[in-house]
């Protein structure tokens, strides 16, 4: 079959694939579908309970994409069409999950079911039908760093082996069961172990992806506009919401935790390399992040405030941040990962991938999108709220 001119990293032609993308209507799924439609000849079976973020691709598909993408509205918890769709595809990519920290300690049962139980049939159908699986896990399976257990000023905290997170070497360190924050990480770890075991015992061809804070346009929702007013999305959308409403950004427990942020479009390049280079990607777990984009959450708040002022033309707030306790913000049972530096050795060696976009640039693009997409809607919603 024609390859659409695409070659893999070893120079061989890539045959057009049919890819079953579960969770295609989410943040990562929407960028992945866009990339596959724009740059490859592959066909997508897009599964999700919602399609708002891929409406431009599927409702209905524009004429040039006819026959290349089809949306199947289904819940993988209980839909008998799932196995048939996996059988129709060459490759399944499972993105479906509850993956917002505000849910981990307040809806631990839903979190565990979504990230472990609901993923089981997907793994089973791939294994039984000899279909390749790319499963999305999380950097959170590493939990806390070894260094976090040392005194704050201990010199070993500065040594990379005490904080750099390496796929096949670093341990997974979670808090106690009462800290229900770890329900997500623990469910993701168990599904990783199951996928790995299916590979070892039954020959499942798999790749596991551990995203390290991928961010960009279309991430999550703005509370009260395209999501519930009381909803708490991930930090990019929380801070965007504060900036749009001209209210201080809330720093949980002082905003001392550190994160590395990678631009969604860089990260999607890595996923495409995995899709088109099975011989190099199968059997591996890959970190996908940008170790050069590390900030504390406080620094992220300061940077977003500065960038938002630039792209919106609005003056920054006099008091841009406010401290809030984790208990107040997330409720009982919250805990946090202290620091997340991905080791990039493996993905660089296997797939030659490196992230490109500096944090400032990706925030500029993303906050320009947030401002254009949401400013008027937020204004209207705030007016309505004061009128009632």
* Residues with active-site annotation: 184
Nearest to ligand NAD of 14, 185 (CB atom): 185
- Site size toward ligand UDP, by CB under 6 A: 14
Segment interacting with ligand UDP, rule: CB under 6 A, options 4-12, 17-25, 71-79, 250-258: 250-258
Q: According to CB under 6 A, which one of 69, 96, 204, 252 is a site residue for ligand UDP?
A: 252
Nearest to ligand UDP of 103, 198 (CB atom): 103
**Interaction mask 288-307, ligand UDP, x per CB under 6 A:** ---------x----------
Closest approach of ligand NAD to the CB of residue 209, in Å: 7
Give Cβ neighbours of residue 97 (< 8 Å, ≥ 6 apart): 23, 114, 115, 119, 136
Q: Give, in order, the Cα–Cα distances in Å from 223 to each of 53, 169, 381.
A: 16, 39, 10
CA distance 143 to 147: 12
Contact status: 101 vs ligand UDP (CB under 6 A): yes
Closest approach of ligand UDP to the CB of residue 234, in Å: 4
Q: Is the peptide bond before 60 cis (omega within 30 degrees of 0)?
A: yes
Contact (Cβ atoms closer than 8 angstroms) between residue 197 and residue 124: no
Closest approach of ligand UDP to the CB of residue 241, in Å: 8
> What is the number of the residue whose Cβ is closest to ligand NAD?
26
Nearest to ligand NAD of 96, 363 (CB atom): 96
- CB burial class (10 A; 0-12, 13-18, 19+) of residue 124? middle
Closest approach of ligand NAD to the CB of residue 12, in Å: 29
Q: 50 contacts which partner out of ligand UDP, ligand NAD, none, CB within 5 to 8 A by kind?
A: ligand NAD
Task: Tell which residue, 294, 107, 99, 131, has the closest CA to residue 210.
Answer: 99
Chain residues in the site for ligand NAD (CB under 6 A) = 23, 25-29, 48-50, 75-77, 95-97, 99, 114, 118, 136, 138, 211, 213-214
Contact (Cβ atoms closer than 8 angstroms) between residue 244 and residue 238: no
Nearest to ligand NAD of 77, 360 (CB atom): 77
232: its two tokens: 């708490």
**Residues numbered 330-359 forming contacts with ligand UDP, rule: CB under 6 A:** 336
**Residues numbered 218-237 forming contacts with ligand UDP, rule: CB under 6 A:** 234-235
Closest approach of ligand UDP to the CB of residue 67, in Å: 37
Strands (E), the chain: 18-22, 43-48, 69-73, 91-94, 132-136, 164-165, 206-211, 214-215, 249-252, 258-260, 262-263, 284-288, 294-296, 321-324, 341-342
Contact status: 257 vs ligand UDP (CB under 6 A): yes
**Interaction mask 137-156, ligand UDP, x per CB under 6 A:** ---x----------------
Closest approach of ligand NAD to the CB of residue 33, in Å: 11
Closest approach of ligand UDP to the CB of residue 213, in Å: 5
Contact status: 250 vs ligand UDP (CB under 6 A): yes
Partnered with residue 165 across adjacent β-strands are 342
Chain-centre distance for alpha carbon 179: 22
Residue corresponding to tokens 């905003």: 255
CA distance 383 to 59: 32
DSSP string, 283-325: TEEEEE--TT-EEEHHHHHHHHHHHHHHHH-PPPPSS-EEEE-
Helix (H, G, I), strand (E, B) or coil at 208: strand
Task: Tell which residue, 118, 258, 101, has the closest CA to residue 185.
Answer: 101
Nearest to ligand NAD of 8, 34 (CB atom): 34
Q: Residues in the site for ligand UDP, rule: CB under 6 A?
A: 101, 140, 213, 234-235, 238, 250-252, 255, 257, 259, 297, 336
């Amino acid at each position: 079959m024609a390859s659409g001119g695409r070659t893999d990293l070893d120079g061989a032609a890539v045959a057009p694939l049919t890819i079953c993308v579960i969770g295609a209507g989410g943040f990562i799924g929407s960028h992945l579908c866009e990339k596959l439609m724009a740059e490859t000849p592959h066909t997508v079976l897009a599964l999700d309970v919602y399609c708002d973020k891929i409406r431009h691709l599927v409702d209905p598909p524009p004429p040039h994409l006819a026959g290349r993408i089809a949306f199947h509205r289904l819940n993988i918890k209980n839909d008998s069409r799932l196995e048939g769709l996996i059988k129709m595809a060459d490759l399944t990519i499972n993105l479906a999950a509850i993956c917002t920290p505000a849910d981990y300690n307040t809806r631990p049962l839903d979190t565990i079911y979504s990230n472990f139980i609901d993923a089981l049939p997907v793994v089973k159908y791939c294994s039984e039908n000899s279909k390749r699986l790319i499963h999305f896990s999380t950097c959170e399976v590493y939990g806390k760093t070894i260094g976090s257990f040392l005194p704050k000023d201990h010199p070993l905290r500065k040594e990379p082996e005490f904080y750099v997170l390496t796929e096949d070497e670093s341990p997974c360190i979670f808090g106690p069961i009462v800290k229900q924050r770890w329900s997500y990480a623990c469910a993701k770890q168990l599904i990783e172990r199951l996928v790995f075991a299916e590979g070892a015992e039954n020959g499942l061809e798999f790749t596991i992806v551990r995203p390290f804070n991928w961010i960009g346009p279309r991430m999550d929702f703005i509370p009260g506009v395209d999501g519930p007013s009381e909803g708490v999305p991930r930090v990019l959308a929380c801070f965007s919401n504060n900036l749009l409403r001209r209210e201080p950004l809330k720093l949980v427990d002082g905003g001392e935790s550190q994160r590395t942020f990678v631009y969604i479009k860089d990260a999607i390049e890595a996923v495409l390399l995995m899709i088109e280079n099975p011989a190099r990607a199968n059997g591996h777990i890959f970190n996908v992040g940008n170790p050069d984009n590390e900030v504390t959450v406080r620094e992220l708040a300061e940077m977003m405030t500065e960038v938002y002022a630039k792209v919106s033309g609005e003056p920054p707030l006099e008091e841009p941040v406010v401290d809030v306790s984790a208990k107040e913000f997330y409720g009982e049972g919250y805990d946090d990962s202290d620091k997340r530096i991905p080791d990039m050795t493996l993905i660089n060696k296997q797939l030659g991938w490196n992230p490109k976009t500096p944090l400032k640039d990706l925030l500029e693009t993303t906050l320009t999108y947030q401002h254009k997409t949401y400013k008027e809607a937020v204004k209207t919603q705030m007016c309505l709220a004061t009128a009632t």
